[in-house]
Structures are given as structure tokens and as C-alpha cells.
Structure 1
């Protein structure tokens, strides 16, 4: 049976930690393909104003996915004028791939609050959870959560080397004139610089971009 991974998020911006999770899940869970699914409006961030537009986040995801074998981007959540509840996305992929096993990929932080998700029990009827732990000391909590959720569906947990970078930290680094290039694929770095994303007004004044995608001051 084909096993397909679904990995959603704001991806604001997508970074190497996200790609590390995808690659780990592909290897450990035997996924034939992974879809990156940028959210239009994350259920957990409805009060926040997105730091980058949906179009920019989608473009960055596509640049990042191009570097990972058997990984692509799906814009189904961006095309819907509603909060991006995962149940709708899982239902859509179940309709597209009725014979496949769907695996919803999560970091340990999202997994530990899974019962707060909209219609979470229905999600587990249609998809397994593939959890990649990126923390050093969360094994006990993950095991307890896995044991609880196993009564509702299939749960896979795999551990990987800690990768502590976050999109918030990257945005703060850009705003504070700190180097951020080591956290992102090179083409995503070029896109951020060329389109002046996450910058303060002061940084944007006088900056331009040449054809190579690098900033010219």
C-alpha cells in the first residue's frame, strides 16, 4: 500500500528544520511521497497577521521542496477562504488517494496538544500520525500521548537529532540584521532577500535585488 505524508504549517518561512522532519519521516516511515501544505489561516494563529503573504509562502515552499526527492507542495488550503483546519485537508487527500495510507506529519509540540485540534478523532479515522521528535527531553511525554491516542488510531513516533530553529527566530534574525542563511535552503534565502521579506522599514529603504537574487545596497 502506498504511504503518503502530509505536512502542513504556516511555513513563515519554511526552514531546514521542516525539511529535516520531512526527510526523517520519509526514511523512518517508508513514505513514498510527502506533500507540503501551507496554511491559509492556521487555527493556532488566527489573531496574528501573517509576516509574509500566502503567495510568498507558497513560492518558498516550492523552492524548498525542489531540493527534496519525492516531495511537492499542495496549495489546497490556500485556495479555501476559511481557517485551515486539518480535518478538511485530510478528507481531501483521502478523496484523492482512497487506497493509500495517509500519514499526518507532526513535530512533538503539535503532537502533545493534538486533542485541542478541530475534530481530532475524525482525523485519526482517516490518517495515521507520524511524529518526529526534535526535542531532547520529551520522550516520556510522547510515549504517554502515544499510548492514549492509540485507542483512536495509528501513531508512529520516531526520534531524530534535535533541531531547535524556528520560523519566529529566523524572522527576528532578519529584522535585527543578523545572519540567517544557515537555517534555510539557499534559494529560499535568495527569495527572502530579493522580495525583502520580514525586514524593517529601515532595512527596506535603498535595497534592491539583482538578477541573481542577491541584495544590492
Structure 2
């Protein structure tokens, strides 16, 4: 392996809870882009969701992602934002990972909705210094995103990849409601994650929306 550049994908999120859609994106990105690994980066305090709803503790969310990724080749949970503490900002994570993995190529994996709002992210113009952008689109949907404010390397397309996946009708909010009502849609949450949720009574009749 000497001399080979390590290629690392980052898929950040709240993962409250993690579901098969997250895993599919990670696996398909790893395969399509030839990544050595994809890190599911668990947000400590997601700034986008402050005040929107009650969020499960970072420790529980990390444990669920560890359970969801167990045994899946090249897909791993990352506690980097939890270990850092405070509000979680992608630019801080990219800077830290770049310093830890000298010479590695980083790939920031985001959904099309998140890509459309990148200008609201902290120091978003600096993101392209550290990573290529991977925009995940649902098959059959438009790729039209206003990139006029993006940093040059992303705006001209040289640092952007597009990944199309078949859509899954699953969301963390639907799974939270399912656990709360006892009607969890089958196949969308791994058995190990569901067992953890039930063992720790997560989402039982709460206000997670």
C-alpha cells in the first residue's frame, strides 16, 4: 500500500436514528468513487437543528451508528465531532481530518438539499480547500443547484462529483414516530440498532419529530 493515496469519504449527520438509507449512500459512494473508507460523522451539537426538536444524546447516537456499521466493510462510525465538543461545523472536521491524515484525499458527501444550502455553512468557501464535494441525487430528480456562490473549484465542476441512487422512502423522523407508536417499518433500521433503541427506551412516546 506504500505510496498510495488514502481516499476518505465523510457523511455527516445527526443519525437520530441511523437507517438503511445512510448505509446505502455510504456503500454506493465508496464503490463509485473508489474510497478506502466512508466515515459516518456523528454531529455533537448540530447547529442546523438548534431549537427545532429534542435531539437524542450524542453518546446514544454514536452507539447506534456503531451498531449500524458493524461488519460493513469500509464504513465506520466517527466520533470526531463529539470528541471536539460544542457545536459541530464541517469546516472544523475537515481541517482536523486533513491534519490527521496527511496527504489523504477527502470527499464530503451531502444530499442535494444540503448542497443547495451550502452558503449557510460556516466558512463554506474554505471547504473546497480540503475536500471534493459529492452530491447525492435521487435517480430521476433534477441536478439544478445554484452554484454561483460556491468556491471556484466546486463552481467549475472540477471538485464536484454527482452520485445518483435509487430513492428509499425512509427517514429518521418516520422511524422515530414508528418506535413511539410501536409500528417500525420493517427493513429500514438494522436489528442491532432497533435492539439498542428498545433497550434504552429511545423515542418512547417523546416529541421527536
Is TM-score (shorter-chain normalized) higher than 0.5?
yes
Q: Is the 8 A contact 1:102 1:127 kept in 2?
A: yes
Report the counterpart of residue 103 of structure 1 in structure 2. 107
Contact 1:24 1:132 in 2 (8 A): no
Work out whether 1:151 is the aligned partner of 2:155.
Answer: no
- Stretches of 4+ aligned residues off by more than 6 angstroms: none
CA distance in 2, matches of 1:193, 1:138: 38
SS where residue 197 of structure 1 aligns? coil
Return the alpha-carbon distance in structure 2 between the equivalents of residues 4 and 53 of structure 1.
Answer: 26
Deviation at 1:99, TM superposition (A): 0.5
- Residue 175 of structure 2 corresponds to which residue in structure 1? 170
Moved more, 126-135 or 99-108: 126-135
Return the alpha-carbon distance in structure 1 between the equivalents of residues 109 and 85 of structure 2.
24
| 3-state SS of paired residue (1:35) | strand
Could you tell me which of 25, 43, 60 is aligned with 1:39?
43
Summarize the Cα distance change of 1:91–1:197 in structure 2 as closer, same or farther, 3 Å threshold: same
Q: Normalised by the size of structure 2, how large is the TM-score? A: 0.87
Cα distance change, pair 31–95 in 1 and its aligned pair in 2 (3 A):
same
Q: Does 1:18 align with 2:22?
A: yes
CA 1:198–1:135 in 2, change beyond 3 Å: closer, same or farther? farther
TM-score norm. by structure 1 comes to: 0.84
Partner SS, residue 87 of structure 2: coil
Alpha-carbon contact 1:135-1:163 (below 8 Å) kept = no
Q: Is the 8 A contact 2:125 2:150 kept in 1?
A: no
Which structure: larger Rg?
1
Tell me which residue corresponds to 2:8. 4
Does 1:71 find its partner at 2:72? Answer: no
Q: Is contact 1:11–1:57 with CA below 8 Å preserved after alignment?
A: yes
Pick the aligned partner of 1:180 from 177, 185, 202: 185
Residue 44 of structure 1 aligns to a residue whose secondary structure is helix
How far did 1:66 drift?
Answer: 1.2
CA–CA distance in structure 2, aligned partners of residues 67 and 166 of structure 1: 23
* Whole-Å separation in 1 of the counterparts to 2:171 and 2:49: 15
User: Can you list the C-alpha shifts for 1:180-214, whole angstroms capped at 9, x where unaligned?
Assistant: 3421111111111111110117xxxxxxxxxxxxx
3-state SS in 2 of match to 1:183? coil
Instruction: Report how many aligned residue pairs link the two structures.
Output: 198
